[in-house]
Structure 1
Amino acid sequence: MKTKLFTFHLFFMMSLVFVAAQETKLTRISVDGNKFVNAQNETIVFKGINIADPDRLEKLGQWKKVLFEELNRWGANIVRFPVHPIAWRERGEEEYLKLLDQGIQWAKESGLYVIIDWHSIGNLRTGLFQAPMYDTSIRETLRFWYTVSRRYADEPAVALYEIFNEPTTFNNQLGSLSWSQWTEIVTDIITVIKANNPHAVMLVAGFNWAYDLTPVMHSPLPFDNIAYVSHPYPQKREQPWVPQWERDFGFVADNYPVIATEIGYMYPDQKGAHIPCLGDEEYGRTIMDYFDSKGISWVAWVFDPDWSPQLIKDWNYTPTRAGTFFKNEMLKR
């Protein structure tokens, strides 16, 4: 009996040590030149997965620890939480923060860093957006980041703060927006974040639905701990892709960290198939090789059977063809 009790006690203590090790290895991330680095100054290349909005997942009964354990089994080291303004308002700040707290804890237990993404699409200057779910304002955006940066200032697992998902004028249908106007807005947001969390690493997206970073060549943001975002879906450019990717966003990785917080592809017969996401494994292999050559981090979209381009077919986490591809890429890296 004593032997059994000793064995149980030893197993229990080893389990606690394992969980603690998973959490303690998530040291604070910072920017060093064109790299993300951890507290040991080791270079970190992120490879991860977008989940759906936590509000959606909770309503579906899918906001649970096993989701994060599955992301870990796929080989991810980071997970992106896309927080839609409409969900933030409808659930309410206090209740939504409870979702984020729980998700961050589950992510830590699975060895995953977290990106918190203010998931709007449109023109923050004019207050016009691509769809009602993305409607927000500069004031609400500032208030969101004030709240988030204060709450997670001492949480290293919340590695990256993605200021605004996809700035776009939708071919001027949403009004005009110059790079200087955009960086003026972004500067206000960054100032708030840095005042409340001096260690925060902030992600700044380019124009054309977060694809085009060409203005950074002449007008980078004058802050430390800044990284830049691109969403290079297959049909943002025609082949040959690589020289155009280099011109449009890849050159930034020579001087700053770059992370593609959305990439993915799907076939025309899949649910929700749409431009610019139509593609196949040729796109997948090409962009993985390009990212490897530039040290660019990436996060595949999206771990949901309904939102597209899908990585899974169902809530048993059965991978789609793209899901299988990205899973294999994460595991082999």
Structure 2
Amino acid sequence: MKRITSIAITALIFLMAVSCSSGGWVEVKGNKFIDPKGNELVFRGLCFSDPVKLVREGQWNERYFAEAADWGANVVRFAVHPANLNSLGWDETFQAMDQGIEWAKKHGLYVIMDWHSIGNLKDELYTNDMYNTTKAETFKFWRTVAQRYKDEPAVALYELYNEPTVTAPGVGSCTWTEWKELQEQIIDTVRTYNPHAVCLCAGFNWAYDLTPVATEPIARPNVAYVSHPYPMKRDQPWEEQWEQDFGYVADTWPVICTEIGFCLADEPGAHIPVMSTEVYGEHITQYFEKKGISFTVWCFDTSWAPMLISDWDFTPTTQGRFFKAYLQGKAH
């Protein structure tokens, strides 16, 4: 039985890899992601930590991608931090990501390209130096991505800005209307070079709050919305509040929660808003299934909390055990 199962899994990975590289693009139709064959696609996967961090630690390798696929992921997220990109250099960073995309395709994984900054892009004020960027640099990044990967459908999702927030100290002000217009300008830039890209648009409150979408949705086609519903963003019971804050959007447009996750209060890296237990994992995955919401779990790394692994032998943490079992159950 083990041999048969292994063969079946290998065949599935191969077919997924062929699908990712076959030339067809993921697209938005109504409130669904649609794969190149016209079938509904629900993304369930893992957030990688910064590619530059992984390069420097010697962990940006095929083994890392193969392990993500073995966990049952069908998508991985590259969290590209502006400071790291500039520290290593654009050429070297993009060459590393080129290689990562080839590994992703080999193992049947789609890629989310994520401009990983936190703060207020309009006023160019951020919560930490590692997120420092400018509007000009942000447009340059997305021009580079769109030109470089315009013929690469495995790079399916362009996450325009990781976590917008205007409630942190010292980050200035920005209205939803202003943020909406800025995202639309980035989308227009992307589409100049890659008309196929699905662009992901986040709300305020560290990419949690999508309530303004009800009255002012992004005025562009082929977009999806992002929320990061960590457990402490709301008190239990969660579901009704999730529905009001972001879940209702999934009735009309695709929603992908590009960061979820938890750790126990006494585990390394525990901090607000991620402390919880497996109860959160059960509730959030059941809610996503009910709503058809896609997700990636933060973070497939040994030091960026909440961690999914405790070492580079990929030993799962508490949340790692939960999400590995969940993802493998959905994939197989």
**TM-score, normalised by the number of residues in structure 2:** 0.94
Q: 2:87 aligns with which of 90, 93, 102?
A: 90
CA contact (8 A) 2:121 2:134 kept: yes
Structure 1 unaligned spans of 5+: 1-16
Q: 2:193 aligns with which of 196, 209, 214?
A: 196
CA contact (8 A) 2:14 2:107 kept: no
Task: Give CA-to-partner distance per residue, 1:159-183, whole Å, 9 cap, x none.
Answer: 1000000000134631111001101
Shift in alpha-carbon separation, 1:233–1:64, aligned structure 2, 3 A: same
Shift in alpha-carbon separation, 1:225–1:269, aligned structure 2, 3 A: same
CA contact (8 A) 2:34 2:41 kept: yes
Task: Give CA-to-partner distance per residue, 1:196-245, whole Å, 9 cap, x none.
Answer: 10000000001000000000000001111100000000000001100000
> Is 1:170 aligned with 2:144?
no
State the distance in 1 between where 2:208 and 2:176 align.
14
What is the identity, as a one-letter code, of the residue corresponding to 1:25?
Answer: S
What is the identity, as a one-letter code, of the residue corresponding to 2:211?
Answer: T
Task: Give CA-to-partner distance per residue, 1:117-170, whole Å, 9 cap, x none.
Answer: 000000001111000000001000000000100100110100100000000013
> Is 1:121 aligned with 2:118?
yes
Q: 2:322 aligns with which of 314, 322, 325?
A: 325
Aligned to 2:267: 270
Query: What's the RMSD between the two structures over aligned residues?
Result: 1.4
State the distance in 2 between where 1:178 and 1:313 align.
40
What is the identity, as a one-letter code, of the residue corresponding to 1:24?
Answer: V
State the distance in 2 between where 1:33 and 1:168 align.
28
What is the identity, as a one-letter code, of the residue corresponding to 2:261?
Answer: G
Aligned to 1:158: 155
What is the identity, as a one-letter code, of the residue corresponding to 1:306?
Answer: S
State the distance in 1 between where 2:12 and 2:288 align.
32
> Is 1:72 aligned with 2:81?
no
Identity between Structure 1 and Structure 2 (%): 51
For residue 112 of structure 2, give the secondary structure of its aligned residue in structure 1: strand
State the distance in 2 between where 1:244 and 1:18 align.
37
Task: Give CA-to-partner distance per residue, 1:2-52, whole Å, 9 cap, x none.
Answer: xxxxxxxxxxxxxxx998644321142000000000111100000000111
What is the identity, as a one-letter code, of the residue corresponding to 2:17?
Answer: E
State the distance in 1 between where 2:16 and 2:249 align.
32
State the distance in 1 between where 2:268 and 2:35 align.
39
Q: How does 1:198-277 map to 2 (within 5 A)?
A: 198-277=195-274
Aligned to 2:7: none
Aligned to 2:133: 136
Shift in alpha-carbon separation, 1:218–1:305, aligned structure 2, 3 A: same
**TM-score, normalised by the number of residues in structure 1:** 0.93
Q: 1:55 aligns with which of 44, 52, 57?
A: 52
For residue 298 of structure 1, give the secondary structure of its aligned residue in structure 2: strand
For residue 244 of structure 1, give the secondary structure of its aligned residue in structure 2: helix
Aligned to 2:78: 81
For residue 235 of structure 1, give the secondary structure of its aligned residue in structure 2: helix
Quote how far apart the aligned CAs of 1:93 are: 1.2
Task: Give CA-to-partner distance per residue, 1:274-323, whole Å, 9 cap, x none.
Answer: 00000001111011110000000010000111110000010000001100
After superposing on structure 2, the runs of 4+ consecutive aligned residues of structure 1 that deviate more than 2 Å are 17-23, 170-173
Aligned to 2:184: 187
State the distance in 2 between where 1:195 and 1:172 align.
36
What is the identity, as a one-letter code, of the residue corresponding to 2:313?
Answer: N
Structure 2 unaligned spans of 5+: 1-10
Report the structure number with the largest CA radius of gyration.
Answer: 1
Aligned to 2:288: 291
For residue 25 of structure 1, give the secondary structure of its aligned residue in structure 2: helix
State the distance in 2 between where 1:19 and 1:324 align.
22
State the distance in 1 between where 2:285 and 2:15 align.
30
State the distance in 2 between where 1:181 and 1:68 align.
38
State the distance in 2 between where 1:157 and 1:104 align.
7
